[in-house]
Structure 1
């Protein structure tokens, strides 16, 4: 008899412990558990008014959308989630059907009878878990993935630290070797500072043909130079296909248009850059001021002297507004020379003036190259700039886009710009 009583007590004890375990596991989800009546002392006087579930929901719903989400129609988007070697935009999808159906059923069965729910209603904690499940799914090019936490970084310094003169390596380099360097750079030659939010978003537009050795030296020098300045940037190499005379200005128009297409947010600033010019001082900031900036004012092969006051060639920077207001570059300059002076005239016509850093900062080294044949029509074209610039430029740009390829350190835009007969 004593043995049976002992076994009964053990079974009763095991049952109580099992119920306590169930309460421990599920008590945080279910707002009201019958077991609490027997195992716990109430934390409040039962005669005092208590907050109903429906009132708690009203106080906490709708949940505030985090500031790192941007409203976009019925969905929300997260900016610039990096995936391996490329960047995509990610959008929060609608919740999985199982979550939606569960929430719908809960909503339909929430009826109040005599001041209490007929069934156990979802608590704010349950709603929070549902919302967290919804927010944790994003669509990407690679399918559904978990979204990483998006942290709002402080603005980068207006003048980054440790800027100053730098050295240049003109040694011949293999492009394949340079391509393996700089793991910080994203696919397509894009970069954003990891520890702060860049103040400037800059597209580097480089007209190009038959300069592969220069390209390797250029990329090897420019990426660490630009990263040091804590800007967000992308490098776009615009190559002219065919055998017609080189048209630097038209290629830069193409680079402007195509670079904007390749980036959803667009670029704020454009630096038009000869591939054989390399900056020698990181204080020469690759950003766009209120006035168009002539960057390469002081070149070694020109004895670090400005040839003439209105020069705007080599490397120049303009904002989106400045470039569109002057209708971009002329499309008519085939061969060397004239297109940069044409742009200088356009800027003056719109009442801009050319800004420059002091000569000790705006220093560049020029790589060795074969001189091009001057354009014999350049002076005739320059004499007509003030009359024709509104009808010659971005508004009349025609070209055939052959291909766009994103390499590790740059985006290659191959284009046919020959004019139709």
Structure 2
């Protein structure tokens, strides 16, 4: 029994204490003695006030259709205004509290129509999935050949300067999911999401294909040192990614093909992105480069950051010569550290 005495107070009905986290209601009977009041026989009921956590698998998800978008960016801004995104395109579920912060990284150059389709198609799906997310568009200047993997490194590093994201999805701008049961979240293993792609008749082109859309938890990206910086031009970087995972003892997991379905509109070859003539040579030593060719050696310059209403657009320039020199220096640095720490040099 809890007793409390207060001088000069009259109480009837309920004694209520309110804290920041809960409301506690004490129903009481009491006796009075002159100016003193003694509260006796308290029973307690507590009602917690909290925001519920988002469900791992939200209801009412399923197949939906991809449509080309013919409007303007301002049309999209108006469309998503009701969801109250923060400047830079940070969306949060209005109904619940999400467990993780998701950064979607898009390597980009000269794909305005595809980007508009992406911005029209993706946020509604992610909002149905109750995901907290920000879309980052990483655009490389046209002076150098397109380097998709390097831009994924840049996207990772620049996104972390904005917020403490725990999950990263690296996404081609021309792939559009058509089943929102393909949940855009991370697990402890990297996830390959683009399992059944329209341009390959909704099948994997080959068993070891990891391209298009992959989801990485932050810890795994750090473990693999991100991605290689050397793949200028088309091809090779996805296979290099598979080699890195093998080095650290990890494998991709995939959703069922019925869920991992993507529409892929037909388009011509990209200017400034010819097939890489070096890709097979690079793949030959991919496993040995993991420790010095990646996040710890990437070199780039951010020329502009545009925080738009529904996404963040980061413009970068790349000096290939400086990049290659820095990667070589990182290799030498690691070799020197290894020599210093060897048992022979410690004697």
Q: TM-score range by the shorter chain?
A: 0.7 to 0.9
Cα distance in structure 1, aligned partners of 2:207 and 2:187 = 19
What residue in structure 2 maps to residue 394 of structure 1?
295
Report whether the alignment pairs 1:324 with 2:222: yes
Q: Distance in 2 between matches of 1:200 and 1:284?
A: 17
The aligned runs of 1:3-82 (5 Å cut-off) are 66=20
More relative contact order, 1 or 2 (CA 8 Å, 6+ apart): 2
TM-score by length of 1: 0.63
Q: Choose the corresponding residue for 2:191, options 288, 293, 316.
A: 293
2:54 to 156, 168, 183: 156
Contact kept in structure 2, 1:173 and 1:217, CA below 8 Å: no
CA RMSD in angstroms comes to 2.1
Shift of 1:65: 8.0
State how 1:133-282 maps to structure 2 within 5 Å: 152-183=50-81, 184=83, 185-263=85-163, 266-282=164-180
Task: Report which of the two structures shows the higher radius of gyration computed on alpha carbons.
Answer: 1
1:356 paired residue number: 254
CA distance in 2, matches of 1:234, 1:305: 29
| Among 203, 213, 216, the residue aligned to 1:305 | 203
**Structure 2 residue ranges without an equivalent (≥5):** 9-16, 23-48, 323-347
Q: Equivalent residue for 1:407?
A: 308
**The structure with more strand, counted as a fraction of residues:** 2
Task: Give the deviation of 1:199 after TM superposition.
Answer: 2.5
Q: Which runs of 4+ in 1 moved over 3 A?
A: 50-53, 63-68
CA contact (8 A) 2:144 2:318 kept: no
Task: Work out the CA distance in 2 between the residues paired with 1:240 and 1:260.
Answer: 19
Report how many residues are paired.
Answer: 280
TM-score (norm 2): 0.77
Give distance in 2, aligned partners of 1:213 and 1:193: 27
Q: CA deviation at 1:64?
A: 10
1:113-132 superposed matches below 5 A: none
**1:385 aligned to 2:283?**
no
371-380 or 280-289: bigger deviation = 371-380
Could you report, residue by residue, the CA deviation over 1:88-122 in whole angstroms, capped at 9, with x for unpaired residues?
Answer: xxxxxxxxxxxxxxxxxxxxxxxxxxxxxxxxxxx
Residue 419 (structure 1) shift: 2.4
